[in-house]
C-alpha cells in the first residue's frame, strides 16, 4: 500500500501520471473531518471522489453509481445554502469531466472470459453470415447477444444489468451488441439492407467499412428530412382544419367505416359509436372487439354541414373539453409526427425490414384488385405492365432528397398513380407507403416539370424484395399534400396515413382525410356530404386557399392570398386562430387598406 497526502483533486491527477498507478491503487488517506485525522485505506478513485466533495461532508467509502450520486447531490442541496450547494455540484461535474481525460474507461468483452462454446458459436456465425437470409441473420445474431448476456450475468458482471434497466441513452443493450457482438443489419440510401457480422470492436474489412459508410449516408439523409418537416407539416394540418367544429346534433348518417381492430387500433376506438347487433352503441371496452371487423361511425361519412357531429366524432372532445376538433386533430398529428420523425436517427439500431408482397398489400387495401389485374401483372415481388400504361412524375411534388434517380430506376415515396387509356383515361393509385423502386421504361419523355414514363406490355414497373419499416417524412408529407389526387376511395388515404402514423387516435386522421376530400364542382363543400360521388383530394397546403383567402393570408402565401381576396373579390371567413390575432372590433375594411398601404 502506498502512502501519500491528498488535499485536492489536482494531487490525485498528479499521482495518476505515475507509472503503475490507476484508480484502483490503494493509498492511506487522512483527513481532519472525514477520517478524524486517522489513516484510512482507500482506493485512489474513492480518495478523488472525497476530495471533490465539501470538506465537512461525511466520508464516502463505497461504490458510487447513479442512484448513490443522486442521493449525495440531494444531501448537498439540503445541507448547504442554494448558491453554495450549486457551486459544489458544479465542482463535481467539472472534475468528473477532467478525470475522464486522465483515466478514460470503456467496457470491453475481455473484462470477463466468454465460454469456449460461445466463442465457437460466434466464429461459426461470422463464417456463415454471408450466406444467411436477413431473418436467419437476425435470429442468429439475437441468439449470440442473449447467450453472451446470460454468461455475463452468471459471472455477476453488473454492466449487463445496467443495460437491461436502461431504456434509452447513448449506451443500451443494442448499442453494446453492435460494439461487442455484431454490428447487425444496415440500410443504405436506397433502403437496401445489408449485413455486418463483425462487432465494431472486432474491426471491419473493406466491405464492412463500405456498408457502414452507406448506412451513415442514409442517416444523414434521414436527419436532413426529419428535422425540416415536422413543424411545417403540423402547422399546415392545424391551419387546414382550424374551421372544423364539433356539432352537438347527430347527423344521422347510415354509412359506417368498417375497421379491422388489431392491437394498435383497439386503444383508439374506446368512446366511439359502432353498429353492434343492428344498434348504435358506445364502445366502452375496446378489448371486446379485438381481431374483429366492426362498423363504426366516422367523420369520414358525417353529414353535418356545421362541422363533425358528436356521434361520428365520439367522446374524445368531451374528455378534452373542447369543440375545436380541427385544431385538436392538427395538434395530435404534430405530437405523433414530431416524435416519430425525431426517432428516425436511431433507426439503424432498431432496424425492421419487411418482406414485400405486392399481392397481399393490394388485397388488404380498398383498391379493386380485379381492375388492376386488367392492366398489371401483379406478382409477389414485382409488378409488370400488362397493357400500355403511363406514370407521370411531377417534379414539383418532390425535392432532391425524395426523388432519387439511378441508371435503371427512380427511388421515390410510394403512392404511384397509373394512367390507362388515351381519350378517356382511367387512373389507379397503388397504395404503397414506402420507398419504391420504379424502373425506367424504354420510352421516357419530359414535358416541363413532368417526367412521362410510358410502359408497354411486359415491361417491369416496380420490383423489390424488402423495405425498411419506419416513419418516412417524405411519404407523410406527400399524403397530406394531396398528391394522391387520383385516389378513388378516401379509405385508401386513411389507411396509408395511419400506417405512417400509428399510435394516434384514428379519429384525427379520419377528420383530416374527410376535410381533404372536396366536391369537384364546389370545392368549399366536403365530399362526405354527397357520399364522395365526384370528389378530388386537396392537400392541407392548399385547403386554406379553398376555405378562406384570409385563412391563407395567415398561413403562408401572402401574395396569392391577397390576389384571391382583393383581385378576385372572394369572400373571406375567419377561424378561431385568426380571431385571436384580430380583435372583434377591428374592421376588415380598415385591414384591407393597411394591406394595400404595404
- 19-72 pLDDT, tens digit per residue, is 888 888 889 888 888 888 888 889 888 999 999 999 899 999 988 887 888 889
Instruction: Please give the Cα distance from 308 to 294 (Å, whole number).
Output: 21
Q: What pLDDT does residue 459 have?
A: 95
Confidence band (pLDDT; 50, 70, 90) for 234?
low
The rounded distance, in Å, linking the Cα atoms of 293 and 295 is: 7
Task: State the pLDDT at residue 347.
Answer: 47
pLDDT of residue 224 exceeding 70, the answer is no
d(CA 303, CA 251): 5
| pLDDT confidence of residue 191 | 63
- pLDDT tens digits, residue range 524-554? 899 999 999 889 888 887 787 666 544 544 4
Give residues with Cβ within 8 angstroms of 20, minimum separation 6.
none
Q: What's the pLDDT score for residue 67? A: 82
- pTM for this structure? 0.55
All three cell numbers of 558: 401572402
Judge whether residue 302 has pLDDT over 90: yes
Cell of 504: 394516434
| Residue 527 backbone class (left: φ over 0; alpha: ψ -120 to 50; beta: rest) | alpha
Mean pLDDT of 485-514: 82
The domain ranges of the chain are: 2-102, 110-215, 227-352+470-536, 367-468, 548-597
Reported as a single tens digit per residue, the pLDDT across 452-475 is 999 999 999 999 988 766 556 666
Say how far apart CA 352 and CA 354 lie, in whole Å: 7
pLDDT at 176 over 70: yes
Let me know if 70 is exposed, middle or buried by CB neighbors in 10 A (0-12, 13-18, 19+). exposed
- Mean per-residue pLDDT for 227-256? 80
User: Which residues have a Cβ under 8 Å from the Cβ of 542 and sit 6 or more positions away?
Assistant: 482
Least Cα distance to 269 among 259, 279, 255, 277 occurs for 259
* pLDDT, position 549: 46
Looking at per-residue pLDDT, the higher value among 362 and 384 belongs to 384
277 DSSP assignment: T
Quote the CA–CA distance of 272 and 249 in Å, as a whole number: 15
* Full DSSP string of 169-188: SS--HHHHHHHHT--EEEE-
Amino acid at each position: 500500500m502506498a502512502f501519500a497526502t491528498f488535499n485536492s483533486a489536482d494531487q490525485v491527477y498528479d499521482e495518476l501520471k505515475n507509472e503503475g498507478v490507476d484508480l484502483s491503487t490503494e493509498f492511506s488517506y487522512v483527513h481532519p473531518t472525514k477520517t478524524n485525522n486517522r489513516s484510512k485505506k482507500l482506493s485512489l478513485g474513492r480518495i478523488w471522489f472525497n476530495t471533490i466533495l465539501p470538506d465537512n461532508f461525511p466520508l464516502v467509502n463505497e461504490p458510487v453509481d447513479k442512484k448513490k450520486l443522486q442521493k449525495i447531490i440531494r444531501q448537498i442541496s439540503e445541507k448547504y445554502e442554494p448558491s453554495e450547494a450549486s457551486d459544489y455540484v458544479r465542482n463535481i461535474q467539472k472534475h468528473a469531466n477532467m478525470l475522464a481525460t486522465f483515466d478514460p474507461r470503456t467496457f470491453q468483452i475481455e473484462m470477463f472470459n466468454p465460454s469456449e462454446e460461445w466463442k465457437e458459436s460466434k466464429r461459426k456465425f461470422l463464417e456463415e453470415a454471408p450466406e444467411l437470409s436477413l431473418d436467419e441473420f437476425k435470429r442468429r445474431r439475437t441468439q449470440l447477444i442473449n447467450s453472451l448476456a446470460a454468461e455475463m450475468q452468471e459471472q455477476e458482471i453488473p454492466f449487463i444489468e445496467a443495460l437491461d434497466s436502461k431504456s434509452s441513452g447513448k449506451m443500451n443493450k443494442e448499442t453494446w451488441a453492435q460494439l461487442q457482438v455484431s454490428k447487425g443489419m444496415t440500410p443504405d440510401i436506397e433502403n437496401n439492407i445489408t449485413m455486418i457480422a463483425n462487432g465494431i470492436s472486432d474491426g471491419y474489412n473493406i466491405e464492412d467499412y463500405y456498408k457502414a459508410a452507406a448506412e451513415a449516408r442514409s442517416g444523414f439523409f434521414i436527419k436532413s428530412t426529419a428535422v425540416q418537416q415536422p413543424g411545417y407539416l403540423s402547422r399546415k394540418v392545424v391551419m387546414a382544419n382550424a374551421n372544423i367544429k364539433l356539432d352537438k346534433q347527430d347527423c344521422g348518417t347510415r354509412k359506417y367505416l368498417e375497421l379491422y381492430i388489431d392491437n394498435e387500433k383497439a386503444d383508439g376506438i374506446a368512446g366511439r359509436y359502432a353498429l353492434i347487433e343492428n344498434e348504435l352503441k358506445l364502445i366502452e371496452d375496446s378489448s371486446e372487439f379485438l381481431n374483429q371487423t366492426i362498423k363504426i361511425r366516422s367523420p369520414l361519412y358525417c353529414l353535418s354541414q356545421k362541422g363533425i357531429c358528436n356521434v361520428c366524432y365520439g367522446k374524445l372532445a368531451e374528455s378534452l373539453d373542447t369543440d375545436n376538433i380541427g385544431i385538436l386533430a392538427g395538434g395530435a398529428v404534430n405530437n405523433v409526427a414530431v416524435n416519430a420523425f425525431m426517432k428516425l436517427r436511431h433507426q439503424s439500431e432498431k432496424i425492421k425490414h419487411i418482406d414485400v408482397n405486392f399481392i397481399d398489400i393490394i388485397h388488404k387495401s380498398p383498391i379493386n384488385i380485379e381492375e388492376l389485374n386488367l392492366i398489371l401483372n401483379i406478382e409477389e415481388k414485382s409488378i409488370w405492365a400488362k397493357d400500355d400504361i403511363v406514370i407521370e412524375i411531377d417534379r414539383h411534388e418532390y425535392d432532391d432528397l425524395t426523388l432519387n434517380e439511378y441508371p435503371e430506376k427512380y427511388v421515390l415515396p410510394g403512392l404511384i398513380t397509373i394512367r390507362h387509356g388515351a381519350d378517356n383515361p382511367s387512373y389507379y393509385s397503388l397504395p404503397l407507403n414506402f420507398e419504391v423502386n420504379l424502373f425506367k421504361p424504354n420510352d421516357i419523355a419530359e414535358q416541363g416539370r413532368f417526367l412521362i414514363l410510358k410502359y408497354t406490355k411486359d415491361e417491369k414497373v416496380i420490383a423489390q424484395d424488402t423495405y425498411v419499416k419506419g416513419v418516412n417524412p417524405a411519404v407523410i408529407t406527400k399524403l397530406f399534400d394531396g398528391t394522391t389526387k387520383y385516389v378513388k376511395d378516401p379509405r385508401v388515404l386513411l389507411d396509408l396515413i395511419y400506417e405512417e402514423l400509428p399510435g394516434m387516435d384514428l379519429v384525427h386522421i379520419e377528420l383530416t382525410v374527410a376535410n381533404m376530400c372536396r366536391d369537384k364542382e364546389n370545392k368549399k363543400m366536403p365530399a362526405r356530404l354527397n357520399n364522395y360521388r365526384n370528389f378530388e383530394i386537396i392537400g392541407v397546403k392548399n385547403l386554406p386557399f379553398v376555405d378562406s383567402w384570409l385563412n391563407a393570408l395567415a398561413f403562408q402565401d401572402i401574395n396569392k392570398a391577397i390576389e384571391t381576396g382583393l383581385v378576385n373579390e372572394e369572400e373571406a371567413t375567419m377561424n378561431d386562430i385568426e380571431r385571436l390575432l384580430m380583435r372583434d372590433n377591428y374592421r376588415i375594411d380598415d385591414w384591407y387598406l393597411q394591406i394595400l398601404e404595404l
